[in-house]
Amino acid sequence: MRIKMDETAALIIDYQERLVPAMHNKDELIRNSRILIEGLQVLGVPLIVSTQYKKGLKETIPEISEAASGAETIDKISFSCFDEEKIREAFKGRKTIIVCGIEAHVCVLQTVIDLCAAGYHVVLVEDCIDSRRENDKRIALRRAEAEGAMLTTYEAILFELTRYAGTDRFREISALVK
Average pLDDT over residues 47-63: 91
Which backbone phi and psi does 163 adopt, to 5 degrees? 75, -40
**CATH number where 159 lies:** 3.40.50.850
pLDDT of residue 54: 82
Per-residue pLDDT reduced to its tens digit, 112-143: 999 999 999 999 999 999 999 999 999 999 99
Q: How confident is the model at residue 55 (pLDDT cuts 50, 70, 90)?
A: confident
Confidence of residue 1 (pLDDT cuts 50, 70, 90): confident
How many structural domains compose the chain?
1
Cβ contacts of residue 169 below 8 Å, gap of 6+?
42, 43, 162
Which pLDDT does position 40 carry in this prediction? 98
Angstrom distance (rounded) from CA 74 to CA 55: 13
Longest dimension (CA), the chain: 46
For residue range 66-92, list pLDDT tens digits in order.
999 999 999 999 999 999 999 999 999
Q: Which domain holds residue 18?
A: 5-177
Closest listed residue to residue 90, CA positions, set 38, 43, 45, 151: 45
